[in-house]
Amino acid sequence: MNITSKAHNKSRFLLGMFLLSLYISAELSLAELSVWSAVWAQQPSPSSLSSQSAAVPNSNLSLSFDEKRAFKILSELVQRGQRYYGAPMRNEVIQGLAKQLQDLGAEISLQAFEKVEPKSQLKYTLTNIVARFNPQAKQRVILGSHWDTRLWAEEDHNPNLKSKPITGANDGSSGVAVLLELARQLDKLKLKDLGVDIVLFDGEEFGRPGSDDYCAGSRYFAQNLSTYYPSVKPKAVIVIDMVGDKDLAFPPEQSSVKFARPLTTLIWREAIKLKLPAFQRGLERGSPHAKSLWIVDDHSPFQKLGIPAVLVIDLNYPHWHTHQDTMDKISPQSLKQTGLALLASLKTLNTIP
């Protein structure tokens, strides 16, 4: 993803974080935070919830999410190799992800398109993987995450490694693992008239720092929305990215608050009802974990179309775009928190016309 305050410049990044934390403090004092606060008041003190090693409670028995299986999916994905554009293993990975989703009952299509890399002028084929559950339903929700990993490591402290592709255990793999395990749990929600489209976007990492080439897959998908939504636009889009960090906290992302306030509120409220610490920590006033940013990611192209689109992300991750973004930084409990929040949100979205 890219941060509109040009976060790749470290000092501006920190300044941006500070200013935006002030901004979100103001934003969150508005009406819907009173809803959060009311729910919040019934919860244990946030300070007692800061440990991420504690097991996530399953307070809603109708929701389940197997974090061990999600972790295994993630581990296998990482073992298959890096997934930057032009990487040799890409086709095999695409087929593998599509097969897993198909085996869970989804109608699969691969949306391939060509994209020229501006600097090298080389042309690459990028592929979005689209898995539709309950394809007949007119009302639909998109759950998205990017499956590609980054070709560079521009944030790495070692200058010799900056031009080398990263593993991307958190950035490019954690979201995919959550969605694959979530797909296994969808049946239990009995959504009836609500269809769910899991879209694994390619090319999120296509951009170089400061460029506008990020999110190539989701932009293409949004530009061609009528391919999958000929008459009715999706009612909601929820994108997850970098959701596996052991030290997890989700401050509400700023563009989501601005353009999709009710949907953002719904997701955080459901998560807080489930006592999920990452979402609670993201709302802790004055905490460094609750510093929010305005982030360009795969939700952004949908916001431009006027579709409520929310990004769930923890960008407070020191290994972002470095060679330290590896499996040892990932917690199964973090994957579980994200998965449960999405499942609970789907359940509630199903009740809203």
* Site residues, Zn ion (CB under 5 A): 171
Taking the complex as a whole, the smallest distance from the CB of residue 205 to Zn ion amounts, in Å, to 5
CA distance linking residue 138 with residue 177, whole number of Å: 27
When computed from its CA atoms, the radius of gyration of the chain, rounded to whole angstroms, is 19
Name the residue nearer to Zn ion (CB basis): 175 or 234.
175
Tokens of 70: 């999600």
Instruction: Work out how close the CB of 321 gets to Zn ion at its nearest, in angstroms, rounded to a whole number.
Output: 6
Give the rounded distance of the alpha carbon of 11 from its chain centre. Answer: 26
Q: Output 270 or 298, the one with its CB closest to Zn ion.
A: 298
The two tokens of residue 241 are 């990215």
Dihedral of the alpha carbons of 145, 281, 345, 188, in degrees to the nearest 10 = 90
Q: How far is the CB of 175 from Zn ion (least distance, A)?
A: 11
**Cβ proximity to Zn ion, 205 vs 270, nearer residue:** 205
Residue 3 tokens, joined: 């941060």
Instruction: Report the 10 Å Cβ neighbour count for 248.
Output: 26
Q: How far is the CB of 301 from Zn ion (least distance, A)?
A: 16
Number of Cα atoms under 13 Å in the Cβ half of residue 181: 25
User: In the complex with Zn ion, which residue's Cβ is closer, 147 or 279?
Assistant: 147
First to last CA, the chain: 32
Smaller CB separation from Zn ion, 256 or 280: 256
Give me the least distance between CB of 25 and Zn ion, in Å please. 26
Residue number of the CB atom closest to Zn ion: 171
